[in-house]
Structures are given as C-alpha cells and as structure tokens.
Structure 1
Amino acid sequence: MPRTVDLSVPRWAHVVTVFLLIGGGFVAGVAALLDLVVEGLGFVESGYLPSLAVAVLLYLAICAVWFARTRNGDGGSSVWSGIPESQYTGRHAESGGIARQEQEDAIRELQDEHE
C-alpha cells in the first residue's frame, strides 16, 4: 500500500513570505534613500531610524490600499477586484476581461430592472 505525504504549503504562508520579502526590500531601500536625502540636505547627522519609520509606515499604507482595492463589496476577494473596469476590454481582454465586462453589465441591467 503506497503512502503519500502532502507537502503543500497553506496560502497564508505564501502571503506572509511574499509580504516579508517584498516589504523588507522596499522598506530597506526607501529608508536608505530617505537617509541619504536627509543627511545630504544637512537636516540631521544620522536620520536612518526616522527614515526607517517613515518607510515602514509608507509600506503599510500601500498594503492597506492594495488590500482595500482587492476586496469585493460582499467581503470576498477576486483577482478582478484590483483591476479597474476600464481595463477589462483593453489590457486584460485576452485573460477574460471581455467576459467579465459582459457579466458586470448583465448584473447592472438586472439590478436596474429590479429597481
């Protein structure tokens, strides 16, 4: 009798890993650039800690905006939630954007008829 082992990683582990890897690079880079600018302008001698705090806050704000844009109105999430509707028939036409546009138009028509 063969035995199998499930080595799949939960989705939340992928999200946390990507959040930390991308966030770490972003925060370190922005903090270093801000530190160079602050020291170059002569505001402070060592401005890395304040620059690091600003970079962390900026990254958290960007993540919050992204999270808010990718949520549906009903609390679920969809890949299409983060894509502006104007791009359905343009950039994303070949990946299902035209069908998505038609579905949303049909839902709007049904809602208009119901009202």
Structure 2
Amino acid sequence: MVKFDAVVFKELFTLQETDKICPHHVSHYLGMDVHDTASVPRNISLVPGVTFTVEPGGSLFAFRFYVRKDNELAREDFRGIGMRIEDDILMTDDGVEVLTRHCARESADIERLMKF
C-alpha cells in the first residue's frame, strides 16, 4: 500500500497538473445526483445531514476522471490509468458516520468481489 506524503506530492505535482487529472479535488458532496459538485457551493457548513466524500491521493487516478492515453494535458506517466479510493461520510449530531466503513479496501478483497 502506498502512503500519501503531502511533501512528496507537492514536489511531484503542480497545482495545474492535479487540476487536470483530478478536477474535483479531494472531496465532493453526495446527493440526488451522486456528485453534487456543480450545484452546491464549496463553502457550506458541515452540519448534520450533509454527506460528502473523502478521496485521498489515490483519487488522482479516479475512474471517473480516467486519464486517456491521448490526453496531452496530463503527464505521460499518468496516461491510460485509473482507480478510485473514496469514503462517503455523513455528518451526524454526534460527529460523523463513515457510510463506506464496510466496503472492501484490500486489493485481494476487491479482486475476490470482481469474480462474482
């Protein structure tokens, strides 16, 4: 498993590069359209009932933003790859509930699920 290192990340990627391959940044709201990013301002308060995602460094390669092999805007070593890592979070009166806490996370578990 690759650990996310913010210092290394800043040295490897410019802000412009990350915006090209990860335009949704590291989170988005969840709602009626699953990805409510366009319709919801980014500065709303996190109050009970608000749902959002947490997408760590792996989201740079999210399938939703699959980096096409012919995408000249992306660095060559990122072209043609994709993956998604995401947790869905619900704000509650007592804090947060991780809605995806029971989802498979290890590659062996994911591969086993893919065989069904």
TM range (shorter): under 0.3
Would you tell me which structure has more strand in proportion to its own residues? 2
Between 1 and 2, higher relative CO (CA 8 Å, sep ≥ 6) is seen in 2
TM-score (norm 2): 0.24
Would you tell me which structure has more helix in proportion to its own residues? 1
Structure with greater Cα Rg: 1
TM-score (norm 1): 0.24
